[in-house]
Chain A
Amino acid sequence: MNKAVTYRKKINASTQNLSDVREFVSRHAEKHGFTSRQVADVQLAVDEACTNIIKHAYNYDASKELSIELEFDDEKMNVTLTDQGMGFDVERYKKPDLKKQIARKKRGGMGVYLIRNLMDEVNYYAESRENVLRMIKNRN
């Protein structure tokens, strides 16, 4: 088995950096042989997770930072997002009731559902003032 390869990126917690994050994810995932569908899935999952961190963990405070780590091995891609903000509940991942939300003109609540759907494994934990979100996309 080949040694795992890791890439890291740090961004400020601003939505204007989301496109850079997507580019970072797709560039490396493509290079490591993931299909275009898999790349699209991971791109969206990481975008949704970063958006949640910017919005909920940091409340749009762009002076704060979050880090993204991509690790590739023969079987999978491991994505780890780390922030130092308020934790948020990724366990609530019921499919949003669109009809109800539309009637109440409510939006949101879709990100976590998408993340759970697009990735093969999702784990979240808080450790010594850090929130860590680990997501796995298998090659097969």
Chain B
Amino acid sequence: MKNFKIDHRITNGFEVLDLYGELDAHTASQLEDALKELINNKKSTIIVNFRELDYIASAGLGVFMAYIEDVRSIGGDIKLTNMNDKVYNVFDLLGFPTLYDIFRDEEEAVEKFLNEIK
């Protein structure tokens, strides 16, 4: 079984979650816990970097649906970056690009946050 893993780091003052491996109905709770922890600590400018994520099922997308309102209501956002084509295709099929900021590169998400804060 391929593992799923999340690393947490801070870049330019923004919270970054790096996802690794495969995100499905079994591993989605780990992502949920990581997001909950950030929100509970009033951290609301969150970037999720998918560079090392090989696979996503709808349970993974469901986590972003469940928490985006909480984050936006405290003035923040969850921005998604560096998805491979296979992973992006799932977000696209379900219509996420119109409601979420999805960037090719983490730098673009940082820039967008910096512009929003101005």
Contacts and interface: CB of A to CB of B under 8 A. Distances in A.
Interface residues of A, number: 30
Contacts of A44: 57, 90
B37 to A, nearest CB: 18
Nearest to A39: B86
A96 B57 CA distance: 15
B46 to A, nearest CB: 16
Given A18-B26, A47-B24, A99-B99, 9 more contacts: A15-B24, A22-B55, A40-B86, A43-B55, A51-B58, A102-B69, A107-B62, A107-B63, A114-B58
Interface in A38-81: 40, 43-44, 47-48, 51, 54-55
Say whether chain B's binding surface is mostly helix, strand, loop, or mixed.
helix
A1 B21 CA distance: 39
Interface in B57-100: 57-59, 61-63, 65-66, 68-70, 86, 89-90, 93-96, 98-99
Given A18-B25, A44-B57, A117-B93, A110 B62 contact: yes
A51 B25 contact: yes
A110 B61 contact: yes
A66 B109 CA distance: 42
Residue picked from A19, A22, A96, most chain B C-beta under 10 Å:
A19
Given A18-B26, A47-B57, A51-B25, A114 B69 contact: no
A54 B94 contact: no
B99 A110 contact: no
Interface in B1-42: 1-2, 22, 24-26
Interface in A94-140: 95-96, 98-99, 101-103, 105-108, 110-111, 113-114, 117
Could you say which interface size class chain B belongs to?
A: 20 to 34
A101 B24 CA distance: 20
B64 to A, nearest CB: 9
A2 interface: no
Contacts of A20: 1
Contact of A16 (B1, B55, B89, B94): B1
20 contacts: A15-B24, A15-B25, A18-B57, A20-B1, A22-B22, A43-B55, A44-B90, A48-B58, A51-B24, A95-B94, A98-B94, A98-B96, A101-B65, A102-B99, A103-B69, A105-B69, A106-B65, A108-B58, A113-B94, A114-B94
